[in-house]
Amino acid sequence: MNHPLQLGVLGALGRMGKRVCALASKDPRFHLAALIHRENFAQIPWSGLDVVIDFSSPKGSLSILKKAALEKVPVVIGVTGFSSDQISQIKVVSRKIPVFLASNFSPGIFWMKRLVSEISRALPRYDMSILEVHHKAKKDAPSGTAKDIAQLLDGKAKIHSLRVGDIVGEHTVVLAGPFERLEITHRAHSRDVFALGALEAAFWLKRQCPGLYGMEDLFRKNAKA
């Protein structure tokens, strides 16, 4: 690429937005063209943007998507807590522009899900449970990642949520059978793992056709590259 992508970051003053901006400022593939707070969406310079990363809120995401569709700007969404109706609205917009939706941008979580899915099929009679722990300021519970894992387990696992301290994010899947217990745990040490994943998604998404994409698409396409 001869010129860096002109990047807009929504929710730029939030925990994740700050880390995305910090990493993007050191990455030659990107130029921070617009840092947008929740209150000033109307000031977005759409004509100069190549891609947007959104870590704002469900309501903010839907507002931005409608405008992005008109301006033909791809959007990476890292927001969680969407209702089923809001997900349907995102799917409608993705028919017009590339949209990347992920509850978690961590490579480790991606492979954790793969492992959990395979092991749960091999041990169908084991009791299953999910424990997720995040910082006390996180608004949604259970986490989007925990919900994704629960879907892989076909609703067989109950989710337990804790909101304490300043924990970035921990997810543990427990499978318990006769005389033994298997635990699969992922711990995020820094929000940078999510921020870096969002940037990789943005760089990849810019080259895609309209559609709704996720981490599975990113890993599959990169494996073929």
Question: DSSP E strands: which ranges in the chain?
Answer: 5-10, 30-36, 51-54, 75-77, 98-101, 127-134, 157-163, 169-177, 180-188, 211-213
pLDDT given at position 191: 96
Q: What mean pLDDT is predicted for residues 87-91?
A: 97
Among 3.30.420.40, 3.40.1190.20, 3.30.360.10, 3.90.1150.10, name the CATH number for the domain at 107-188: 3.30.360.10
What residues are labeled active site? 134, 138
Model confidence pLDDT, tens digit, residues 51-86: 999 999 898 899 899 999 999 999 999 998 899 999
Q: Return the percentage of the chain with pLDDT > 90, whole number.
A: 83
Model confidence pLDDT, tens digit, residues 14-59: 999 999 999 999 999 999 999 987 666 667 888 889 999 999 989 8
Place of tokens 């009679």: 125
Q: Which CATH superfamily is domain 5-101+192-224 in?
A: NAD(P)-binding Rossmann-like Domain (3.40.50.720)
Residue closest to 147 by CA, chosen among 174, 176, 181, 113: 113
Q: How far apart are the first and last CA of the chain?
A: 16
Model confidence pLDDT, tens digit, residues 201-210: 999 999 999 9
Q: Where are the domains of the chain?
A: 5-101+192-224, 107-188
pTM for the whole structure: 0.89
